[in-house]
Amino acid sequence: FRGTDFEFQRVLLPDPTSHCRASRIAPEDRCSEDLETRQGGPNGACDNEVNSLQKVVASSLRDLNLDIPKADRSPGFDAIKNIKVTHLAMNIMLREWVDGDRTGFAAR
């Protein structure tokens, strides 16, 4: 589309914050007939969170878990598999760590 009347335009939005996420419209309001309700307020106008974080669980942990009879398995593997940490939450945790004890022991 480059060089035509239909060329894409880059839109840069502010980085997401907890306040912005809390100020976004509810999913059911996205189809509202009222334009202001559908668009939401300026406090909820920010970019989406980056979902680039993936947790790494060793395949040996999975294999060890599957080798144990189901009745004797620990729920730990399923708990680890279901942990979801957003990029925004990770930034908040790292910021609190940096602002806290700088000896290196705060992360433990």
Average pLDDT over residues 57-72: 83
pTM for the model:
0.46
Supply φ then ψ for residue 54, to 5 degrees.
-130, 140
30-46 pLDDT per residue, tens: 899 999 999 999 999 88
- Evaluate whether 48 touches 21 at the Cβ level (below 8 Å): no
8 A C-beta contact, residue 43 and residue 23? yes
CB-CB contact of 49 with 91 (8 Å)? no
Does the structure show a pLDDT above 80 at 102? Answer: no
What pLDDT is recorded for position 94?
Answer: 82
